[in-house]
Amino acid sequence: MKDEYINKILMHVKNPFVKEKIKKELLNHLEEKEDYYMSKNFNKTEAQEKAIEAMGDPETIGQELNEVHKPYISYLIIASRVFLISAIISISLSLYPLIIDFKDSFFNDKNDEKHTQNLLVENYDKIISMQQTFHFQKDIYIIDQIAYNLDNDDIAFVIKEKRRMIPKPFDDSDLKYSFNLDCEDTKCELLNMSYKQRLINVKSGKDKQYINFSIDSGLHKETYQLNLEGIKYE
Amino acid sequence: MKNNREWLRTGSQLMILSLISEHDRYGYEIIQELEERSDHTFEMKEGTLYPILHRLEAKGFLKSYKKTMENKRERKYYKITPSGQKQLIEDKNTWEEFSKSVRQVVEGTRTVSYER
């Protein structure tokens, strides 16, 4: 009986977020009024009837409650909050790879550069500057130094991946993470591998006019020639 | 000048805010207190109290909280907020003015007519 009555009231309340709260509040009221009537020696059913009677016309109460709890403002607020949050999430998600690439370009490059430079200086007596550029798929590789020792025939070169500073989104290059470098016809040793650089030592390299090497991304493989003509090791 | 219904609303708003400003109360308690203090002049249909309470809360004059009783029943108590206090003072003043004006009209210059 109580529940039916309260449902008659709630029927008029359109805001779904407040119905449960109102139900609890009204139910509590009815229960306390029931207790009052039972203390006046009415039986449970009579007490409930009288309590409901004292509450009043469910339609009027329901309509007035609806006036107060009009839902459209709540919906508007919630909708705009949901929209705002999803906008923030989608923007962050789409920016994330861009930001990571950007950060990589800045920081790893600098560290790599310093690191291999140190290795060269520590392990070899002399360094010659040069510039040879190799194109692999969408990336550019540069060999810009040849290092050598005075007391043996080894030479070394560093192959560096050079990428545009701001990578285009969705324009994946093959070689984002790793590549294999092989020397085809000479004894190459990979001395150091970092994010974008490889330090290769070539045994008896001083004798060579050319060093053939290949770059293999796992998806593509291409061969190149490092031109050593005219280099004087003094 | 307010219409009848608005005066009734102001009156009940004033009484309810006043009761709650004394101490926090829940719905059923407010009804009982109203009936008692007014010598049963104000015997409203009890359900109509709740739209008033909810509107006062929506306006920021009251703040509700739940209190669980020993018998596991949950009561929704209302307390008055600072802006509710302000509104109470305003309503009291308005009501004083209103009753003063009525009195002035009723006790003021009267046209006495005698029929013999």
Of residues A125 and A74, more confidence is placed in A125
Contact A61 B48 (CB under 8 A): yes
pLDDT value at position A9? 94
pLDDT of B24 reads: 95
CB contacts of A21 in chain B (<8 Å) are 76
CA distance B107 to chain A (A): 38
Average confidence score pLDDT of chain A: 84
| B40 interface with A at CB cutoff 8 Å | no
**Closest to A37 in 3D by CA, of A24, A25, A53, A48:** A48
> pLDDT category, A178, cuts 50, 70, 90?
low
Are the CB atoms for A21 and A9 separated by under 8 Å? no
Residue B19 contacts by C-beta under 8 Å, 6 or more apart in sequence?
B25, B30, B33, B34
**Distance between CA atoms of residues A37 and A162, nearest Å:** 88
Q: What is the pTM of this model?
A: 0.53
Sequence letter at residue B44: M
- Tell me how far the alpha carbon of residue A106 is from its chain's centroid: 18
Give per-residue pLDDT as tens, B6-18.
Answer: 666 778 899 999 9
Interface of A with B (CB under 8 A): 9, 21-22, 24-26, 28-29, 31-33, 54-58, 60-61, 64-65, 67-69
Confidence of residue A164 (pLDDT cuts 50, 70, 90): low
Give Cα separations from B29 to A32, A145, B24 (angstroms). 10, 90, 10
- Mean pLDDT confidence for A90-114: 80
**pLDDT (mean) for A109-138:** 85
Given a contact cutoff of 8 angstroms between Cβ atoms, the answer to whether A183 and A213 are in contact is: yes
Cα–Cα dist B23/B17, whole Å? 10
In this complex, is the C-beta atom of B50 within 8 Å of any C-beta atom belonging to chain A? yes
The verdict on a CB contact (< 8 Å) between A28 and B51 is no
Helices (H) and strands (E) in chain B, counts: 4, 3
Q: Is B27 on the interface with A (CB under 8 A)?
A: yes
Residue A167's pLDDT is 54
* Calpha distance A231→B7 (Å, rounded): 105
Give the pLDDT confidence score for residue A188 in this predicted structure.
82
Q: Which of B84, B85, B79 is nearest to B63 (CA)?
A: B79
Residue A79 tokens, joined: 């909708």
Could you report the per-residue pLDDT of A185-226, keeping only the tens digit for each? 667 888 877 767 888 888 888 888 888 888 887 778 888 888
What ipTM was predicted for this assembly?
A: 0.82
Rounded distance between C-alpha atoms, residue A5 and residue A229, angstroms: 100
User: Where in chain A does DSSP place strands (E)?
Assistant: 126-136, 139-148, 155-162, 180-183, 188-193, 197-202, 210-216, 221-227
Among partner residues B28, B55, B74, which is closest to A24 by beta-carbon distance? B74
Best of A18, A22, A28, A60 to disrupt the B interface by mutation (most B CBs within 10 Å)? A28
Check CB contact under 8 Å for B76 and A28: yes
Which residue of A56, A57, A69 is in closest CB contact with B54? A69
pLDDT 10s digits, B40-80: 776 678 888 999 999 999 999 999 999 998 888 899 999 99
Please indicate whether, in this complex, the C-beta atoms of A64 and B51 are within 8 angstroms of each other. Answer: yes
B67 reaches A (C-beta below 8 A): no
* Cα of B82 to nearest chain A Cα, Å: 21
Mutate to test the interface with A, among B45, B64, B68, B70 (most CBs of A within 10 A): B45
Distance CA B28, CA B23 (A): 14
pLDDT score for B87:
94
**Whole-number pLDDT of residue A53:** 92
| Among chain B residues, CA nearest to A56 | B45
At A76 the pLDDT is 81
Partner residue opposite A67 with nearest CB, options B28, B47, B51: B51
Put simply, the answer to whether A68 touches B76 (Cβ < 8 Å) is no
**A95-99, A123-127, B61-65, B97-101: range with lowest mean pLDDT:** A95-99
Q: Is B59 on the interface with A (CB under 8 A)?
A: no
